[in-house]
Structure 1
Amino acid sequence: MASLKAQQSITNTLPNKLPAKFLKQITNDLSPDRKLGHSVFGTVYMGILPEGEIIAVKKLAENSPVAPGKSFDTEVTNLMALQHENIVELVGYCHEAQKDVVYHNGRYVIVDIIESFLWYKYLPKGTLDKYIYAGTSISNWDTRFKIIKGVCKGLQFLHNKPDGALIHMNILPTSIWLDDNWVPKIADFGLARLFGQEQTRMNTINVIGQYGYMAPEYLYRGEISTMSDIYSLGMLIIETTTGEKNCPNSEDRSARKFVEHVHQNWNTDDQITTMYPSLDANGLQQVKLCIDIGLNCVEVDRNKRLSIVDIVKRLNGERV
């Protein structure tokens, strides 16, 4: 396997556009054995280049209402220009029409199927959901606090772009990747734009969103704003802090029962020190702060939620 330095140089010399045939070849034809993660936007696979380097290849969901032609190219190019420590580096893409034979109205016809891929720098630790729940490998609070702060900084970057906020629409543990130093990187950023915001409004549940992370105003009224992301962020902060998994269902799609459980069970020092037995006084205050911020973010009334700017200030010890 190539060294990290060599690996980075090989990635940087690859063209921004790679053919679908090549991307399928390096992922062993999108083999389930190469699957790294999955979201409502599609599935991520490990791609092994001929030189031995690994990249992460996302195959966008089948039949997704992605923006056509040049609009797709323009949006992806804009996303590739985004550079931040807490954002996964988007390196290239593919948007091709493939001929396929389908059975329609009693006969076989040839149709154009659009296949869309994105590819990213590979992060070997994978996604946050593998590490934060009880019994997993991140047992110390300092690392969890570092991850929470990093995710918030990344979202602040997306929400405060000079040309307007980039609403993520899918902040959850499976969309946060980790590098070798536990630095969190937000993935799936901007894919809501590729899918078209009008489509996300019309097909709230089918196109964008996972039960337990969607803000009520978006889930039930199709209202999209930065506060939609804040709700999802709140759930992620709560899960990362408590180690408890948000397990909603079709009857509780915004996970209000989970929120109430946290309200009732994480309001004492005893509960916190049970989770983190070696916590010092400063760490105890940080845990309390994160629970408080997380619960504020998941207020049903979006006007009561903190902005990402204020969240970052509070995490940095500033008064808001």
Structure 2
Amino acid sequence: MASHHRGRIPSYLATAAALLLAFLLPPLASSQSQWQNCDDKTSMFTQNSTYQANIQALSTTLPKNASSSRTLFAFASIGTVPDIVYALALCRGDANASTCGTCVSNGFKGAQQLCPYNKVAAVYEDHCYVGFSNKNILSPTGGDNNALILMNTQNVTEPVKEVFNTAVGILLNATAEYAATNSSRRFGTGEKGFETIDKGKPKIYGVAQCRPDMAPTDCRSCLGNIIADMPQYLSGRQGGRILGLQCNYRYEQYPFFTGPSLLQLPAPSVGEAPSPAPDNVTPPPVRGGGTRNGTVRILAIALPIVVAILAAVVICFCLWRRKSKPAALKASLSYPKNPEDIQSIDSLILDLSTLRAATDNFDESNKLGEGGFGVVYKGIIPNNEEIAVKRLSQSSGQGIEELKNELVLVAKLQHKNLVRLLGVCLEEQEKLLVYEYMPNKSLDTILFDPDRRSQLDWGKRFRIVNGIARGLQYLHEDSQLKIIHRDLKASNVLLDSDFNPKISDFGLARLFGSDQSHDITNRVVGTYGYMSPEYAMRGNYSIKSDVFSFGVLILEIVTGKRNSVAYDSEQAVDLLSLVWEHWTMGTIVGIMDSSMTSHSPGDQMLKCAHIGLLCVQEDPADRPMMSVVTVMLSSSTVSLQAPSRPAFCIQKSGMNYSGMHTDPYPGVSHPTSRSPMSPNEVSITELEPR
């Protein structure tokens, strides 16, 4: 197997340090092959160093995170500068969870063997790739910009080379377009036939894939740039691939992926190209005279034209009808002028008639909950999928800004621990949001119910904590967008039939730029008890504000107590004070939820309480990143620093929490007054910053 460096730096690699060329191994051996890309121009780490320990910690968590992710993608970071390590793993879209986990685990092992002590490295296998760096490899300036080109040593025969190259180009462009625009996994497969003289119509098989957190335009641009390099490096090769951390593609003359092709492009038929008639063939005689012959010729020419015009008119009419509703929706909501936002909204438009049929015209028997915004109904759409339809109150003009915000953001977010927004409808003065149906409603309806809390054993609670942490990590660090939720609480965590958590309600969420760390607002909205002190008092919010809310939520899950209730203690008033008092006294186990402490691992519960206290530190800089929290939760070897006295948010007197929250889909919240939070936690607390 030969290799050499490619001399030209391609346009899609902004700061490429090097690019390796290698040849593919034969198909039978390639499944066990690894290809590495080691950046020797960066500094190296030493054996048994903190940097190496951080890589080891990530090699434990990332295989699990990637294999359990719906998109088979995981990104995490651990440590602090100069020993911080960023790592990502992406499995091929057709891999199953077992194959993905094993592949990522082998990738980490291969990286440490093939790139020993390199701070920046990437290892590629047939079913996955793994990369790590001391810079954020998801950012435009910090990513690993090396790409690896692999090519088959065998060429196609010269007579069909041009046809073969054309077929490969068509196939790769089609699969790239499918991966970018038609797949939430940013993954596409396809096959295309091509004609040969002596071998009939063989096929070419292709795969195109991007990181699933990339926007469609970014994915298409990345794939388009590497496909543009195909003529220079892979022309006439029977197979080849270009592998990068942002996107990759591969084609072969044999099916190398699992399952049927998502795209099937046929070979051109034999009769497509006109062929000259042989000289010895005489046209058949025409009967009926020249006039009839002329009429036939005119009809033969005119009829196809008329049919084509009519078809064009019908198509244009259908497109106009299809786009008229999205256009009206965009105008009524005054969306931002970002084409990506508009394109992502179009796919969410639903017909009012469909939702009326699904909910039996919003029958009372299908009501799931009710709040200040309106009512939530259960529905069943024609494919028997259960949905939850939030019907915003027609008499209230509140909520349209939150609705716009949620549509633009949630349409771009895809993670198993975020609730899926399935559609929206704004017809006949109706404002309807459609979500995936969550049978167990919201976390607070079980956690704080004396009769139901026993359903949440420690195994379920720990899974809920992990799921919320991963969802927040995706919002803060793994998604291409940096999202601050601003209203994380128990009633905004929904539970599916297996008690897996999904974060909901993005009506108050805020989008940050990649280099933005915090912002200040004059309108503080959220829920008492979950707000960080810097946000509640000064309107200053950041990802660390969400970390504070997550810490409060952990302590509620561990103790089974609401943070908004005053507890009997000489020194403690609220939940944070109560937990801190027992922590300093060494009696923390005594306030764990008694409904699940008898058969639960005390050390794991203690660790969760410890992490919760770290997340509610008064100084935002002392609170950990969510990627660090996920490592803490999953690793038994990571040592936790001692927490300091947490920040306290003193509750106003006179608050009554006698009611239960009845809205299982908070989606869009509405500030109904300037008073403290209402008993059912549906309304938004508004504070004037001091």
Query: TM-score when scaled to structure 2?
Result: 0.35
Q: Does the alignment pair 1:16 with 2:348?
A: yes
Match of 2:500 in 1: 183
2:419 alignment partner, SS class: coil
Compared with structure 1, are the counterparts of its residues 273 and 201 closer, same or farther at alpha carbon in structure 2 (3 Å cutoff)? closer
Task: Look up the match of 2:491.
Answer: 174
Q: In structure 2, what is the equivalent of residue 245 of structure 1?
A: 562
Amino acid at match of 2:390: K
The Cα of 1:306 is off from its aligned counterpart by: 1.4
Alignment partner, residue 523 of structure 2: 203
What's the C-alpha RMSD, in Å, of the aligned pairs? Answer: 3.5
Partners of 2:442 and 2:491 within 8 A in 1: yes
Mapping 1:252-291, distance limit 5 Å = 257-265=574-582, 267-268=586-587, 269-272=589-592, 274=594, 276-279=596-599, 283-291=601-609
Shift of 1:130: 1.8
Query: What is the Cα deviation at residue 56 of structure 1?
Result: 0.9
Residue in 2 aligned with 1:307? 625
Number of the residue aligned with 1:131: 446
Aligned counterparts of 1:256 and 1:203: Cα–Cα separation in 2: 27
1:24-74 CA-to-partner distances (Å, cap 9, x unmatched) read: 675567677655356787753323447765311224574336449xx939x
User: Offset of 1:193 from its aligned partner?
Assistant: 4.6
Relative to structure 1, the CA distance from residue 272 to residue 77 in structure 2 (aligned partners, 3 Å threshold; closer, same or farther) is closer
Q: Distance in 2 between matches of 1:155 and 1:40?
A: 26
For residue 85 of structure 1, give the secondary structure of its aligned residue in structure 2. Answer: coil
Partner-residue secondary structure (3-state), 2:603: helix
Q: Residues 229 and 78 of structure 1: is their aligned pair in 2 closer, same or farther, counting only changes over 3 Å?
A: closer
Among all aligned residue pairs of Structure 1 and Structure 2, give the percentage whose two residues are the same amino acid. Answer: 36
Closer, same or farther: CA 55–230 of 1 in aligned 2, 3 Å: same
Distance of aligned partners of 1:258 and 1:77 in 2 relative to their CA distance in 1, 3 Å threshold: closer
- One-letter amino acid matched to 1:129: D
Structure having greater relative contact order (Cα 8 Å, sep ≥ 6)? 1
Q: Structure 1 residue 46 and structure 2 residue 378: aligned?
A: yes
**8 Å contact from structure 1 (residues 166, 190) kept in 2:** no
- Compute the displacement of 1:209 (Å): 1.1
Return the alpha-carbon distance in structure 2 between the equivalents of residues 36 and 141 of structure 1.
Answer: 27
Q: Which of the residues 87, 92, 100 maps onto 2:423?
A: 92
Q: Does 1:222 align with 2:554?
A: no
User: Where do 1:28-67 residues align within 5 Å?
Assistant: 34-37=366-369, 44-49=376-381, 53-60=385-392, 62-64=396-398, 66-67=400-401
Distance 1:225 1:42 in 2: 30
**Equivalent residue letter for 2:484:** I
Say whether 1:83 aligns with 2:414. Answer: yes
Cα displacement string for residues 146-175 of structure 1 (whole angstroms, at most 9, x for unaligned residues): 111111111111111443311111111111
Taking the aligned partners of 1:55 and 1:227, their CA distance within structure 2 comes to 33
Instruction: Work out the CA distance in 2 between the residues paired with 1:28 and 1:300.
Output: 50
Q: Distance in 2 between matches of 1:184 and 1:167?
A: 18
Contact 1:40-1:209 at 8 Å conserved across structures? no
Distance in 1 between residues matched to 2:390 and 2:593, nearest whole Å: 40
Could you tell me how far apart the structure 2 residues matched to 1:32 and 1:256 are?
Answer: 41
- Between the aligned partners of 1:42 and 1:161, the Cα distance in structure 2 is 33
1:170, 1:304 → 2: CA distance? 21
| Cα drift, residue 176 of structure 1 | 0.9
Q: Kindly provide the CA deviation profile for residues 84-113 of structure 1, in whole angstroms up to 9, marking residues without a partner as x.
A: 121111111134573xxxxxxxxxxxxxxx
Instruction: Specify whether residues 228 and 30 from structure 1 end up closer, same or farther in structure 2 by C-alpha distance, changes over 3 A only.
Output: farther
CA–CA distance in structure 2, aligned partners of residues 143 and 156 of structure 1: 20
TM-score (structure 1 length as normaliser): 0.71
The code of the aligned residue for 1:160 comes to E
Letter of the 1:16 counterpart = L
Q: Distance in 1 between matches of 2:371 and 2:619?
A: 27
Relative to 1, partners in 2 of residues 1:260 and 1:181: Cα closer, same or farther, differing over 3 Å? same
Q: Report what 1:145 is aligned to.
A: 462
Question: Per the alignment, do residues 273 and 54 of structure 1 end up closer, same or farther by CA in structure 2, a change over 3 Å counting?
Answer: closer
Cα separation, 2, equivalents of 1:41 and 1:311? 34
The Cα shift of 1:222 comes to: 1.4
Unmatched 5+ residue regions in structure 2?
A: 1-346, 512-519, 567-571, 641-690
**CA deviation digits over 1:286-308, x for unaligned, max 9?**
11111111122222322221111
Amino acid at match of 2:613: L
Distance in 1 between residues matched to 2:491 and 2:565, nearest whole Å: 16
Q: Counterpart of 1:235? A: 552
Residues 1:209 and 1:316: Cα distance change in structure 2 (over 3 Å): same
Q: Report how many residues are paired.
A: 272
SS in 2 for 1:292: helix
Indicate the larger mover: 25-34 or 85-94.
25-34
- Checking the alignment, whether the CA contact within 8 Å between 1:218 and 1:224 is kept in structure 2 is yes
Q: CA shift at 1:81, angstroms?
A: 3.7
2: distance between equivalents of 1:60 and 1:222? Answer: 28
Letter in 2 for 1:63: G
**1:228 offset after TM fit, Å?**
1.5
Structure 1 residues 161 and 122: CA distance shift in structure 2, 3 A: same
The structure having more radius of gyration, on CA atoms, is 2
In 2 relative to 1, CA 27–262 (structure 1 residues): closer, same or farther, beyond 3 Å? farther
